[in-house]
Amino acid sequence: MHRFRTPSALLAAVALLGCQSRKEEKPAAPPAPATAPRAEAAPAPPPKPAPPAEAQPELSYLKPTEDGEHCEWMRQPLKGTATRVFRFKAWCDRSTVSWSPDGGQGLVFTWPSGEGEVPQAWRVEVDAKSGQPLDLKSLPGGTSAGNPNEPYVSRVAFDAQGRPVAIVLLASEAKGPITFQGESFPVPKGQGVPGLAMAYRLVDGDWKRIEAKATRFEEDTPSEHGLLDAEATLTPTWVASPPTRLPGAKAAPALAKELDAQEPGAAGAGWWMELPGPGGTLYFRARREGPQLVLSQPLLWARGDQRVSLKDLTPPDAYLGFQLDQGLLLVTSYGGFAAATVWDPKTQQRVVSIPDVYAPALWPVPRTP
């Protein structure tokens, strides 16, 4: 062997070391990028709340108790069971009902009809179904039975701010100005009985006179015709007696002839009236019986060229009253035929009929600000 020849084992070791050295000199590979965190799924949006159920029409009415000693103010869904709002000791057929603008309160008023009786009123919390008497004693006529030549309380209702207001009337035999509580009120010339119409507002427990006007009373109740400016601010009042003011307008002569031809038995005393309503027009007869206005059958509902007879809604001889509201027609029968009947112009069907009730009205929808 040549003395300078490196042994094969040594060469192999050197070669191996060289390879390892070159491997160590090679830069290390960069680390693998970190795995991005897994995005979590966004939570599902909450389900949309169901739209509020549409309010169903309701009926208000006064109903005598079985013993006849009390009257109950009732609230009844047209498709449901009636509940009592308030009970008071008075006659239903001499009582009225009105609501505050927001519908949260009611006023029940009863007028006297003879000696020993006085006007009464109650302020009712509708949701709580409870009420408290209103003190009318400090009002002119607040302790009167409605005697001639004395002031009498004819109406109690809410104004636009929800404050009770009383309308007081005084008929007088004075030949000149009317003197009342030290004040003189000149009476306008004309026909009718001289009189004084006054409005009082309840403020901090006291009745304050806010308006007074001399007038002449004729056959109609002055408060029905708005002699006082204050009356224009009052909420509607529903009365147990027949209306003293005609709703709608007198039908034109040509139309009246057509209606007479359709209802031959209607010709005679009185005249045809028309009252526009939801999707149509109500036609009815009107006449005078002494000082009283009478609204009566025949009843017709016209939609386009079609006229439908509503003779089955009421007895033929009943004195009637009407309310068109919330897409419905309420027909009130008075006196011995006392009843409330609701008719739907859309379906042309009777919805409900309730006998022996007074001062009915469709329960008002609260006024939004």
Average of pLDDT values for 230-234? 94
What pLDDT is recorded for position 156?
A: 97
Helix (H) or strand (E) holding 25: helix 8-25
Structural domain spans, the chain = 104-238, 241-364
Average of pLDDT values for 235-260? 94
What pLDDT is recorded for position 179?
A: 92
Confidence of residue 115 (pLDDT cuts 50, 70, 90): confident
pLDDT tens digits, residue range 103-112?
999 999 999 8
Share of the chain above pLDDT 70, in %: 82
Confidence of residue 268 (pLDDT cuts 50, 70, 90): confident
Write out the DSSP string of 189-252. SSSSEEEEEEEEEEETTEEEEEEEEEEEE-SS-GGGGT-SGGGGGSPPEEESS--SS--SEEPP
What pLDDT is recorded for position 14?
A: 32
Structure tokens at 136: 């009318």
Which of 5, 157, 33, 175 is CA-nearest to residue 96? 157
- Residues 5, 7: Cα–Cα separation, whole Å: 6
Average of pLDDT values for 50-77? 87
pLDDT at 27 over 70: no
Share of the chain above pLDDT 90, in %: 67
- Residues 266, 33: Cα–Cα separation, whole Å: 99
- Chain position carrying tokens 């302020």: 123
Least confident of 38-47, 81-90, 194-203, 205-214: 38-47
pLDDT at 11 over 50: no
What pLDDT is recorded for position 295?
A: 96
Least confident of 30-39, 145-154, 198-207: 30-39
- Residues 319, 291: Cα–Cα separation, whole Å: 14
Confidence of residue 368 (pLDDT cuts 50, 70, 90): low
What pLDDT is recorded for position 234?
A: 96
What pLDDT is recorded for position 96?
A: 97
